[in-house]
Amino acid sequence: MITASIPTREQLEQIVRELAPDVVRIRCQASLDWSGDSALYFRVILSDDASAPARLWGVTEKVRSTLFRALDLSESDPIPYFRFRSDSEQAKIREQSWE
């Protein structure tokens, strides 16, 4: 059973504003992970500048810690998972779950 509550669009947009211009968009979906644990999947679109090799690690760590703090996430129930993609990569792929 999926018990996770998904952050509202307004909550995510507030966090995007806080992390701008490095973060362009954040989407979140509740589901079960591979072993059946409740999970929240965060899909984060980064600016191309923030996706550069020299900046990527620092930016992704900041995004994770900001989401944990702003949404009061725990390490379990639901387990938060994070994926990152650059703005230009998404512009080519246009995957709906990241739009």
Question: Which chain residues interact with other proteins by CB under 8 A?
Answer: 33-35, 37, 39, 46, 51, 53, 56-57, 60, 74-76, 79, 81-86, 89, 93, 95
Cα four-point dihedral sign 28, 29, 30, 32: negative
Identity of the residue, 8 or 80, whose beta carbon is nearer to other proteins in the bound complex: 80
Least spacing, CB of residue 93 vs other proteins, in Å: 5
The CB-of-53 to other proteins minimum distance in angstroms stands at 7
| CA neighbor of 42 nearest in space, from 15, 18, 22 | 15
Q: Which is nearer to other proteins, 14 or 73 (CB)?
A: 73
Which residues, 6+ apart, have CB-to-CB distance to 51 below 8 Å?
59, 84, 86, 87, 89
